[in-house]
Copies of this chain bind each other. A is one copy, B any other.
Amino acid sequence: MVETPLRVRYAETDRMGIVYHANYLVWFEIGRTEYCRAAGLPYRAMEESGVWILVTAIDCRYRRSARYDDALIVRAWIGELAARGMTFRYEVADSEGRILADGASRHVFAGPDGRPRRAPEDLLARLERFRAPAQNA
């Protein structure tokens, strides 16, 4: 699991005084980005090498509100991992450890042309090792 801190932006609030719900998906993506970086696979480098990770489904449950300037944590980890695609899972927590939201995203690997492709073996191996270091020791 990789944890990324973030601070709620004014632009992310809505007239209810809380964070607009679509922004949690942006935070999930930040969690995903930092997960890949921590695994030694910066997502930008992956794209530049021709491996794109398309989003095919997303879900999110909202449990508590976040407010402007709150210091939050996004947690991201891999659910399933296969040559065709993968799932990420997420939690957003506040500074007291309460879960504000959780969710998941499903992905397929694609080439720069947007067509599905299998992920390279070494990429899968590296993600697999990062995700379950004990099992792979």
Contact = CB atoms under 8 A, between A and B. Distances in A.
Interface of A: 7, 9-11, 13-18, 20-23, 25-26, 29-30, 33, 42-44, 52, 54-62, 65, 67-69, 114
Nearest 6 Cβ contacts at the A-B interface: A22-B25, A59-B59, A13-B15, A44-B69, A21-B55, A11-B26
A57 B61 CA distance: 4
Contacts of A69: 33, 42-44
Interface of A is mostly: mixed
Contact of A56 (B14, B17, B42, B61): B61
A9 B29 contact: yes
Contacts of A58: 21, 58-60, 62
Contacts of A15: 10, 13-18, 67-68
A42 B30 CA distance: 25
A6 to B, nearest CB: 10
Contacts of A22: 11, 22-23, 25-26, 29
